[in-house]
Structure 1
Amino acid sequence: MNQNQISEIIRNNREKRKMTQMDLAKQLYVSDKTISKWETSKSCPDLEMMEAIARVFQMSIFEFLSNQIIETTNKQGNCLKAHFYVCPICGNVLWTLSESMVHCHGISLSSLQAQKTNEDHFISIQKIENEYFVSISHEMTKKHYISFIAAVSSNRIQFVKLYPEQNAEAYFKIDGVKFIYFYCNQEGLFKKRIDYTMM
């Protein structure tokens, strides 16, 4: 991609969003003269600045550089189909709306398979006004603890990260929650369906 193409992409995207050069300049913390130079091919933004421009235009850097908006083919994106991943090295927690290739610390992570709660991982869910109070009967030592609790509805995931030596509990907005997930660092992922008849 040459400088003329980049200048054209910046100008076209700015005009499409009905932004002036000054509007764009303010969001990028540069002068309107800088924007003018980019759009007339007198200078070119560096890669870091291109990433910032892409963010302003609500595009990925790939979309910006290819001058194409990528449409998702998954029109049925649903948080109830969430997949959870935990890095065994750093404890990083990630989730996706479909099976994905996820890596952390150079390791390929597998989607965790949720199991039903049991006596050793008993979960209590209480409705308090417009929230669920979730507590898990579990030790919270540095060697054995609940790492996170998540409340999942069709359009959102509410997530609370937990740490050893604190209580394994959290509050979540009710907001259509269908499942509670929690992760034990030794036994893995657990899943509990909200039973509305017991609330």
Structure 2
Amino acid sequence: MDSVKIGKLIAKLRKEKKLTQKNIADALGIQNKTVSKWECGLGCPDLSLWPELSAILGVDMKQMMEGEITSNQPDSGNIDKVRFYVCSSCGNILVSTGSASIFCCGRQLERILPMGPPAATKITVEEMDTDYFITFDHPMTKEHYISFVAFVKSDRVLLNRLYPEQSPTCRIPVNTGGKLYVYCIKHGLSVYSDISRAEL
């Protein structure tokens, strides 16, 4: 480990968070001078302190240990580049509009890649007032269910969370164009490009 590089990064991140060396020391249960030593490049945090230090500073522990935070490319504003992530531990659903480092339950999540529309899942679309009422012919058991449905168009993502033993339906505003993403915990992410037809 490059203690000088790490020390400079710790100081920079601490100042960004508007924290003092004492704030960091108190949160970690160590002395102020220890944090000062790190920032001067005269040593690195003990291995047992890294997880809590990275949480306090709000950064990825691995990148902090390397002494360098890698920035993602700026969001280009193209919502078509939306990415979905699902935590295998807690089931959280996370969305980014471009390249991102996404973590949940202490693990980095991989982007879920769409598989295309599954032949087995039939979708029925009914127009009701200003919404499409969408019904999926899909089991909703604890072992096999649709976890989320997302409609993506222009500048927005409409996310519907579904749960086991719930009816496999959702509503979205009537729209032309856009894409419908459906995530089944067993078969992955599928994409439908035209939901305006009565049946897909």
TM interval, shorter chain, is 0.5 to 0.7
Corresponding residue number in structure 2 for 1:104: none
The answer as to whether partners of 1:83 and 1:97 remain within 8 angstroms in 2 is yes
Paired with 1:173 and 1:52, the residues of 2 have a C-alpha distance of: 43
Q: Secondary structure of the equivalent of 1:36?
A: helix
> CA offsets, 1:91-139, max 9 Å, x none?
9988775699xxxxxxx998224339999321346567xxx67531425
Shift in Å at residue 192 of structure 1? 5.0
C-alpha displacement of 1:168: 0.7
* Offset of residue 81 of structure 1: 2.4
Identity percentage of aligned residues:
20
Q: 1:21 to 1:126 in 2, by over 3 A?
A: farther
TM-score (norm 2): 0.55
SS at match of 2:125: strand
Structure 2 CA distance, aligned partners of 1:123 and 1:183? 18
Equivalent residue for 1:47?
Answer: 47
The answer to whether the Cα contact below 8 Å between 1:150 and 1:182 also exists between their aligned partners in 2 is: yes
Q: Deviations over 1:43-102 (max 9, x none)?
A: 753335323323333332243223333222354264422356899xxx9988775699xx
Query: Structure 2 vs 1, CA of residues 92 and 21 (structure 1 numbering), >3 Å: closer, same or farther?
Result: closer
The alpha-carbon distance between structure 1 residues 109 and 8, as it changes in their structure 2 partners (threshold 3 A), is closer
Contact kept? 1:85, 1:112, Cα under 8 Å: no
Partner of 1:115: 117
**Contact 2:86–2:94 (Cα < 8 Å) also in 1:** yes
Q: How many angstroms does 1:18 deviate by?
A: 3.6
> Which residue number corresponds to residue 76 of structure 1?
76
CA contact (8 A) 1:180 1:194 kept: yes
How far is 1:20 from its partner? 1.3
| Matches of 2:99 and 2:6, distance apart in 1 | 35
Q: Which moved more, 1:184-193 or 1:45-54?
A: 184-193
Name structure 1 gaps, 5 residues minimum.
Answer: 101-107
Structure ranking higher on relative contact order (CA contacts 8 Å, 6+ apart)? 2
Aligned residues between the structures: 176
Could you say which residue in structure 1 is the equivalent of 2:106?
Answer: none
> Given residue 36 of structure 2, which amino acid in structure 1 is its aligned partner?
E
Unaligned segments of structure 2, at least 5 residues: 101-109
Paired residue secondary structure (1:51): helix
Give the TM-score normalised by the residue count of structure 1. Answer: 0.56
